[in-house]
Amino acid sequence: MVRQNMLATLRRVEVNKGAPGIDQVTIKDLRDYVREHWDRIREELLTGPYKPLQLRVQTRTQGT
């Protein structure tokens, strides 16, 4: 089930032509990255140590 969910998510990202995230992996390179690192990704998703990267969020204050 994990693999099916990952492939469905990957297809949605490809269709939406999403921009690179904080990791700078492009849509063009994403499928190859997932294929190459699948064993580790799967293990981390199933056992729980996967932690998304911290995002730095900038907010605008009123009047700026």
pLDDT for 63: 61
pLDDT at 52: 62
pLDDT at 17: 80
pTM of the model: 0.56
- Say which residue the tokens 């032509």 belong to: 17
Cα–Cα separations (whole angstroms), residue 35 to 32, 53, 56, 63: 5, 20, 28, 47
Q: In terms of C-beta density within 10 A (0-12 exposed, 13-18 middle, 19 or more buried), how is residue 10 classed?
A: middle
pLDDT digits (tens, 9 = 90+) for 18-46: 777 777 888 888 888 888 988 988 888 88
Residue 48 gets the label, from left (phi > 0), alpha (psi -120 to 50) or beta, of: left
Query: What pLDDT shows up at residue 30?
Result: 83
**Nearest CA among 5, 12, 10 for reference residue 35:** 10
